[in-house]
Amino acid sequence: MFRPLLAACFFFISVSAVFGQDADFFKPNPHRRELKATKIPGNIKVDGILDEPEWSLAIGASDFIQVEPYQGQPSNYTTVIKVLYNQKYLYVGVVCKDPKGKRAIMATDFVRDFDYLRHDLVNLAFDTFNDQRNAMVFATNAYGVERDLLAFDDIYYDIDWNGLWTVNTSRSDSGWVAEMAIPWKTLRYPKSKDSIQSWGFNAYRNRRLTNEISAFSPFPRIFSSAHMNYAGVLTNLQPPPPATNIIVDPYVLASEDHYANFAGAKPHTSSFKYGGDLKWAINPNTVLDLTANTDFAQADVDQQVNNTTRFNVFFPEKRQFFLENASLFGVQISMNGDQAGGNMRYQPFNSRNIGLDTSGNPIPIVGGGRFVYRSATVNYGAMAIRQQGYNGGSATNFFVGRFSQNFGHQSRIGGIVSLKEQPGAANFESTMDGFFRFNESNSINAIVTQSTTTNTGAKGFAGVVQYFNNTNNHEIWLTESVITKDFDPQMGFVSRSDVIATTPGINYFYRGKLLPFKSFLLAYAPGILPEIYYTASTGKFAEAHIPFYPVWFNFKNGGYFGYGFESIWQHLTSIFSPLNLNIAPGDYHYFNQQIYLSTDPSKILNAMISFTSGSYFNGRLTTIDYKVQFAPSPHVSLIGEYNRNHFDHVGADNTSELVNLYILQGRFALNPHLQFSGIYQKNLLNNSNAYNLRLAWEFSPLSYVYFIYNRGINNQLRTRPIIDQTEDHIIFKLSYLQQF
């Protein structure tokens, strides 16, 4: 039934790849642009005002080139970048000139690691090992909010890595200025016999009012500035030899807990605990992390999701210890976000299996450690964690080991082993993976894993391979996945078991002469993303989705509008129960239509809306998602989200029901270092209410005082008599980071 459709899809993909060659997609320039750093004897006051005489000695660079919206043209707004250094710090000053001055500056909040699509910003990327693969990235918006990450091959990112550095900014009628001080200890670099070093370096600026992105060394718009083979060179550096680099981050915590109508729970408990983390950069390539009595009280709570599909929902990691070096252990196939593999997602190691139960509730961690070595050719690491016994369960030991070898044109092969061990039971996974980049546009990514569970004797297999082709005018992929019935990744994540999946797709980006309304349209971007699934154990058809988006427009302001339709086939062999509805086994074919809209995300009032309506199994389903942000200034941000699922005569009982989910978030910031935030979630699926309030004060770089209040109410309406279960938690936490 689906072979002609797949053949047509592949024909369309092939024709697009052959005839849709992009003349604007260019290779790296062998003559790399240079920026010379200037050595100074003393320190600079980092206040966002480049008024020290030392700055007048620095040799600046300007003449940035556009990446968006008109790749290759000179920037319409002057940006000047200068670099100074002494024995302790690397200083970077960036002057962002603008004829509208501070009136042109856009920013929606003071969140660290802010959404780069919503802010004016400058972004610096350093290739300190000159391997054109790895980058340390530091960015700031016009209000001095920090954003930093580690990037590897412009594919894997440690987005929540927090480096120790300082930035201040100033705003005026001529634009804004950023002044940064990055300690040499934060910038890991090799020990060199040469007294003078040069590093790969790039910088870009986003002037958000017009959404113009311009770069010191230009790169194709399909990539990011962390694609370091397009970088320029920062010259004349004389960093001190790498020295002992130890960071300690102890904490103390006190909490008050109240429970009502929980069977077996004490109505009131008080607790006090202490612990902390230690990070030792043994040398520029090697880092050892240790943790004891690990606590994540300050981590953001998960946002609830009402899932109407047959796929498991993936929740991202938000705990700082596990976010460090996540890219080394978190191998996955998810290029182009989750879209490239459709609803299929496989990740051999998922750290959320440690210290959290299946509902996302914390389980105490006794302690553990992580050892990581990275270089231009070899990367390896290991992590061991002991989880405390909880709610009658046994203590659990976790181990994951990783090795990868880099070679060729940003290619690598590697392996992962993981072990989850409890008394009388163990789960073991062994994985081989490879990434092969043939040129700037074409790559293949592959992962194969075998799992063994000792107490059940089950052995299973998972294999995923993906071809990906991307240029400035298209993204094309083909992903093949096989997950056997007995595959049991207790330390990983898989969105679906017992499945053979074929998920090709293409997104096309047209910016040619026929594009209308070029004053506000950036591109016409239609796409087709079919997904076809068979049951691995029987070979029989299981499910298919054929979504086609003939209308999709990306706007120059960062918004978009799209219309699509989707035909879906389902073969159910057992009862399927989305959101507490029971759908009988059988064959179903249904159809829906979809509308997507996003306004300019940097505006004071911005919104995202998605609307899906049509048949659903034996009935109908209309799903609407609204997300609205009101940010009158970066100091105040309010976000409201509403998910509405309206079932009409669905399931064995022909149920008509409305299931709503409400989420309200607020953030009030005096400055980037003192913020009050909160989130409220109400879900009619289980009639629950949840509150999380947090006051955070960063009194010293990466040292915090937290006051946290959590409240959860679960109204068990299906019990008689009605019982309201309530829990309240009040938490005080102090952490103090020191670098030696």
Let me know if residue 173 belongs to a domain: yes
CA distance 345 to 447: 12
Category of 113 on φ-ψ map: left (φ > 0), alpha (ψ -120 to 50) or beta: left
Structure confidence at residue 299 as a pLDDT band (50, 70, 90) = confident
pLDDT for the residue numbered 314: 87
Let me know if residue 92 belongs to a domain: yes
CA distances from 62 to 113, 448, 545 (A): 26, 47, 49
CA distance 101 to 16: 44
Let me know if residue 84 belongs to a domain: yes
Let me know if residue 516 belongs to a domain: no
Q: Give the chain's mean pLDDT.
A: 90
DSSP label at residue 211: T
Task: Evaluate if residue 518 carries a pLDDT over 80.
Answer: yes
Question: What is the DSSP secondary-structure string of 166-193?
Answer: EEEEEEETTEEEEEEEEETTTS-----S
Structure confidence at residue 565 as a pLDDT band (50, 70, 90) = very high
Q: Which residues pair with 466 in a beta bridge?
A: 445, 479
Lowest mean per-residue pLDDT among 256-270, 331-345, 552-566, 722-736: 331-345
pLDDT for the residue numbered 18: 46
Residues 6+ apart with CB under 8 A from 544: 2, 530, 531, 532, 533, 568, 569
Which run of H or E residues covers position 4?
helix 3-19
Q: Bigger pLDDT: 249 or 188?
A: 249
Structure confidence at residue 239 as a pLDDT band (50, 70, 90) = very high
Q: Bigger pLDDT: 17 or 111?
A: 111
Let me know if residue 547 belongs to a domain: no
Question: pLDDT tens for residues 393-413?
Answer: 889 999 999 999 998 878 999
Average pLDDT over residues 709-729: 72
Task: Evaluate if residue 533 carries a pLDDT over 80.
Answer: yes
Burial class of residue 431 (count of CB atoms within 10 Å of its CB; 0-12, 13-18, 19+): buried
Q: 376 is written with which tokens? A: 């231009």
Q: For the range 315-322, what are the long-range contacts, defined as Cβ-Cβ under 8 Å and sequence gap of 24 or more?
A: 315/352, 315/360, 317/350, 317/351, 317/352, 318/160, 319/351, 319/355, 320/160, 320/162, 320/296, 321/277, 321/289, 321/291, 321/294, 321/296, 322/351, 322/352, 322/354
pLDDT for the residue numbered 341: 60
Lowest mean per-residue pLDDT among 12-16, 454-458, 548-552: 12-16
- Cis peptide, bond prior to residue 69, ω within 30 of zero: yes
pLDDT for the residue numbered 344: 85
Question: What's the total number of domains in the chain?
Answer: 1
Q: Bigger pLDDT: 80 or 24?
A: 80
Let me know if residue 77 belongs to a domain: yes
Question: pLDDT tens for residues 660-679?
Answer: 999 999 999 999 999 999 99
Percent with pLDDT over 70 in the chain: 94
Q: How far apart are the first and last CA of the chain?
A: 66
CA distance 153 to 133: 5
Question: pLDDT tens for residues 648-658?
Answer: 999 999 999 99
Lowest mean per-residue pLDDT among 6-15, 214-223, 606-615, 700-709: 6-15
Question: pLDDT tens for residues 472-512?
Answer: 889 999 999 999 999 999 999 999 999 999 999 999 999 98
Task: Evaluate if residue 726 carries a pLDDT over 80.
Answer: yes
Let me know if residue 489 belongs to a domain: no
Angle at 332 (CA atoms; ends 328, 334), nearest 5 degrees = 125
Domain CATH number, residue 117:
2.60.40.1190
Q: 175 is written with which tokens? A: 């634009």
Question: pLDDT tens for residues 570-619?
Answer: 999 999 999 989 999 999 999 999 999 999 999 999 999 999 999 999 99
Let me know if residue 175 belongs to a domain: yes
Residue 329 three-state SS:
helix
Q: 424 is written with which tokens? A: 């009388």
Question: pLDDT tens for residues 316-356?
Answer: 888 888 887 888 888 887 644 444 567 888 999 999 999 98
CA distance 186 to 158: 15
- Cis peptide, bond prior to residue 530, ω within 30 of zero: no
Q: Which residues pair with 437 in a beta bridge?
A: 443
pLDDT for the residue numbered 194: 74
Q: For the range 403-408, what are the long-range contacts, defined as Cβ-Cβ under 8 Å and sequence gap of 24 or more?
A: 403/378, 403/379, 404/328, 404/378, 404/379, 404/380, 404/433, 405/377, 405/378, 406/131, 406/133, 406/376, 406/377, 406/378, 406/379, 407/377, 408/436, 408/437
pLDDT for the residue numbered 284: 84
Question: pLDDT tens for residues 598-609?
Answer: 999 999 999 999
Task: Evaluate if residue 716 carries a pLDDT over 80.
Answer: no
Task: Evaluate if residue 15 carries a pLDDT over 70.
Answer: no
pLDDT for the residue numbered 266: 74
Q: Rg of the chain over CA atoms, in angstroms?
A: 26
Domain holding 164, by residue range, is 32-237
pLDDT for the residue numbered 2: 56
Q: What is the pTM of this model?
A: 0.89
Average pLDDT over residues 696-720: 83
